[in-house]
A and B are shown apart, each in its own frame.
Chain A
Amino acid sequence: MSAVVWAVSGMLFLLGLAAVVLRRQLLAMFLGLELMVVAAALALGHEAGRAGLAEGLVAVLLVLAVAAAEAVVGLTLVLRVHWSGRPTEADALRELRG
Chain B
Amino acid sequence: MIHIPSAVILLFAAPLAALAVGFFVTRPYKPEWTHIPVLLSCAVVCACAAYLAAFVYSGRGLDGTLFRWMVAGDWDVPFGVRIDGIGVSVLAMVSLVGALIHLYAVGYMKGDPGFARFFLLFHLFYLSMIGLLISNNYVQLYLFWELVGVCSYFLIGFWMHKPAARRAALQAFLTLRVADLGLMLAVLILMGLYRNTRFAALYAVAGGIPTGVLALLGVLFVWAAAGKSALFPLYFWLPDAMEGPSPVSALMHAATMVTAGIFLLVRSWPLICVVPGLPEFIAVVGAVTAILAAVLASTQTDLKRILAYSTVSHLGLMAFGLGLGQVTAGVFHLVTHGFFKAVLFLCAGILAHAAGKSTVSVSEVGGLRRKMPLTFLCFLVAALSLGGFPLTAGFYSKDAILDAAFAHGGWAAAAGLAIAAGSAFYISRMLFLTFFGSRPEQKPIEHPHEAPPVMIVPVLFLSAGAVSVGWLGRGLARMLGSGWPKSVPAPALEGPTSVVSSAGLAAAALGAAGAYWLTMLRPSWDWQWRRRRPGLEALFFDDLGWRRVPVACVTAAVWFADKVGRVLDRDCWDAAIEGSTGVCRRVSEAGSRLATGSLSDSLWWVMIGAAALLAWAALR
Query: A residues bordering B, Cβ < 8 Å?
Result: 17, 20-22, 24, 29, 90-91, 93-98
Contacts and interface: CB of A to CB of B under 8 A. Distances in A.
Given A24-B600, A90-B600, A98 B595 contact: yes
Nearest to B593: A98
Interface string B24-47: 000000000000000000000000
A33 B598 CA distance: 17
A97 B595 CA distance: 6
Nearest to A17: B607
Contacts of A96: 597
Contact of A91 (B592, B593, B598, B607): B598
B599 A93 contact: yes
Interface string B61-87: 000000000000000000000000000
B616 interface: no
Given A21-B604, A93-B599, A97-B596, 4 more contacts: A29-B603, A93-B597, A94-B596, A98-B593
Contacts of A93: 597-599
Contacts of B598: 90-91, 93-94, 97
B471 to A, nearest CB: 101
A98 B597 contact: yes
A21 B592 contact: no
A95 B597 contact: yes
Contacts of B593: 98
Contacts of B603: 20-21, 29
A22 B603 CA distance: 10
Interface residues of B, number: 11
A17 B604 CA distance: 10
A20 B599 CA distance: 10
* Chain B contact residues, majority secondary structure: helix
Nearest to A26: B599
Interface of B: 592-593, 595-600, 603-604, 607
A31 B511 CA distance: 122
Contacts of A22: 600
Contacts of B599: 29, 90, 93
A20 to B, nearest CB: 6
Contacts of A17: 607
Nearest to B592: A98
B246 to A, nearest CB: 80
A94 to B, nearest CB: 5
Contacts of B592: 98
A90 B604 CA distance: 12
B610 to A, nearest CB: 10
A87 B81 CA distance: 102
14 contacts: A22-B600, A29-B600, A90-B598, A91-B600, A93-B597, A94-B596, A94-B598, A97-B595, A97-B596, A97-B597, A97-B598, A98-B592, A98-B595, A98-B597
A90 B597 CA distance: 10
A17 B600 CA distance: 11
A93 B596 CA distance: 11
Nearest to B610: A17
A21 B607 contact: yes
Contacts of B596: 94, 97
Nearest to A96: B597
Nearest to B607: A21
A98 to B, nearest CB: 5
